[in-house]
């Protein structure tokens, strides 16, 4: 999804890279040089699905924890809904970050911190088993009929893992399967019925998309993930504005800017920290060891971001006015502001406006929306 994968109140999932996004994002890490469907073996006979063990009783969740989880889920749903077309419509531009997606997100109660585990059970119905918590619009999972609430029982006849390590173990289970197939056979439990569904894989950008647990107005990309803080989401007025920020961080990831600035580890640490339920704010002082992004990197990311947005169907005409207004509201001088990491606003605005003109011309002439080298 890519990006489409639930954000990090999760304490373990925050350490996962695209391989583990197999469950969180519905993304299965497929090396781009491997052609899905090559040397496909006959599908094995479905294994017998063992009866589910009695699920342990969950302690009651406090109203405050349920509200916190409800707010998080609402923010994350908004983020994934906006990210979905950016991820699915831009695999061609995501280069080595393109992967095959199943197109859904799945979690169990261990996906959340200990503080929210009971709330996840009471609010979302999560237990030891992996349960679908979101389906990416227009994905293979959506076309196959996967629904929120489905419990994952088996894939290609192999039982899905349960328990504390279920997400990472499911990623390990899924990765070789997507290297061999274009369609996966899933068995799910819906209400009291077991259903067998053929889910076609969907090419997409394999970036995990996360909500950061802080009111600081910022966003980061560490090469594998994109994080928008709660504060950033709260200051953005509509889906287009959320998309503008997401697309820029996706573009930085595609272009490898975090690694080229030798700060990938620092950005990754910030993403992990901000995604925790109670982040260590002492590490958020000033720029947290990060250097401002160079004007050249920002210009390249802005240009690619406009193409990502256009291909996803977002309104690119409002991108430049948005960034001008945003920088005025959150100036470079503000501690921890997004603008402090991206200070070359006038050069950025010029590049965005030029990219918009280029896309107008391409559309008028029927040319594909692929930026020139």
- Is residue 30 included in any domain, yes or no? yes
Q: pLDDT for 126-179, tens place per residue? A: 899 999 988 888 889 999 999 999 999 999 999 999 999 998 899 899 989 988
- Is residue 354 included in any domain, yes or no? yes
Together in a domain, 218 and 338: yes
State the CB neighbour count (10 A cutoff) for residue 335: 10
Together in a domain, 233 and 353: yes
- Is residue 372 included in any domain, yes or no? no
pLDDT tier at 83 (50, 70, 90 boundaries)?
A: very high
Q: pLDDT for 34-53, tens place per residue? A: 233 333 333 333 344 444 44
* pLDDT over 50 (residue 341): yes
Q: What ranges in the chain are assigned the alpha helix state H?
A: 21-24, 63-88, 114-124, 140-144, 166-178, 230-235, 239-254, 257-260, 264-275, 295-312, 319-329, 338-341, 345-364
Together in a domain, 141 and 223: no
* pLDDT over 60 (residue 360): yes
In this prediction, residues 70-77 reach a mean pLDDT of 85
Distance (Å, whole) CA 5 – CA 1: 6
- Is residue 49 included in any domain, yes or no? no
Phi and psi angles of residue 101, each rounded to the nearest 5 degrees, phi first: -110, 140
* pLDDT over 90 (residue 87): yes
Together in a domain, 218 and 199: no
In this prediction, residues 203-226 reach a mean pLDDT of 88
Distance (Å, whole) CA 225 – CA 329: 26
User: Which residues on neighbouring strands pair with residue 197, listed in sequence order?
Assistant: 186
Q: Is 364 helix (H, G, I), strand (E, B) or coil?
A: helix
For the chain, what is the domain count?
2
- Is residue 51 included in any domain, yes or no? no
The boundaries of the domain holding residue 261 are 213-364
Prediction pTM value: 0.78
Q: What pLDDT sits at residue 364?
A: 97
Listed residues 152, 173, 203: the one ending a domain = 203
Lowest-pLDDT choice from 27-41, 154-168, 240-254, 294-308: 27-41
Q: Which residue has the tokens 């909500």?
A: 211
CA dihedral sign, ordered 229, 235, 239, 243? negative
Q: What pLDDT sits at residue 140?
A: 92
Structure tokens at 113: 């911190």
Q: What percent of the chain has pLDDT over 70?
A: 77
CATH number of the domain to which 180 belongs: 2.30.42.10
Check if the beta carbon of residue 258 is closer than 8 Å to that of residue 222: yes
Average pLDDT score over the chain: 80
* pLDDT over 90 (residue 212): no
Listed residues 153, 178, 203: the one ending a domain = 203
Distance (Å, whole) CA 211 – CA 112: 13
């Amino acid at each position: 999804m890519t990006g489409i994968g639930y954000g990090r109140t999760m304490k373990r999932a925050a350490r996962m890279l695209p391989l583990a996004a197999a469950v969180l994002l519905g993304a299965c890490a497929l090396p781009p040089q491997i052609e899905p469907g090559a040397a496909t073996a006959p599908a094995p006979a479905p294994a017998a699905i063992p009866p589910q063990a009695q699920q342990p009783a969950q302690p009651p969740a406090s109203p405050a924890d349920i509200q916190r989880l409800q707010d998080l889920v609402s923010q994350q749903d908004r983020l994934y809904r906006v990210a979905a077309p950016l991820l699915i419509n831009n695999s061609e531009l995501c280069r080595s970050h393109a992967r095959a997606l199943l197109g859904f997100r799945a979690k169990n109660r261990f996906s959340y911190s200990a503080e929210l585990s009971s709330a996840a059970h009471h609010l979302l119905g999560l237990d030891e088993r992996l349960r679908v918590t979101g389906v990416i619009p227009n994905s293979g999972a959506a076309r196959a009929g996967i629904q929120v609430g489905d419990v994952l029982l088996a894939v290609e006849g192999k039982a899905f893992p349960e328990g504390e390590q279920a997400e990472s173990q499911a990623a390990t289970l899924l990765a070789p399967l997507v290297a061999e197939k274009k369609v996966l056979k899933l068995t799910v439990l819906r209400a009291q019925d077991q259903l067998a569904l053929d889910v076609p894989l969907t090419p997409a950008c394999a970036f995990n998309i996360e909500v950061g647990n802080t009111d600081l107005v910022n966003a980061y990309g560490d090469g594998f993930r994109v994080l928008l803080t709660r504060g950033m989401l709260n200051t953005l007025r509509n889906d287009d504005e959320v998309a503008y920020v997401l697309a820029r961080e996706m573009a930085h990831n595609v272009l490898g800017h975090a690694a080229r600035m030798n700060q990938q580890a620092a950005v990754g640490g910030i993403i992990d920290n901000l995604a925790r339920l109670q982040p260590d704010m002492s590490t958020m002082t000033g720029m947290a060891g990060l250097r401002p992004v160079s004007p050249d990197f920002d210009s390249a990311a802005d240009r690619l971001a406009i193409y990502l947005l256009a291909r996803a169907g977002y309104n690119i005409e409002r991108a430049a006015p948005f960034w001008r207004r945003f920088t005025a509201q959150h100036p470079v001088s503000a501690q921890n502001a997004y603008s402090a990491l991206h200070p070359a606003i006038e050069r950025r605005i010029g590049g965005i406006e030029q990219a918009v003109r280029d896309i107008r011309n391409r559309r008028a002439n029927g040319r594909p929306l692929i930026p020139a080298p």
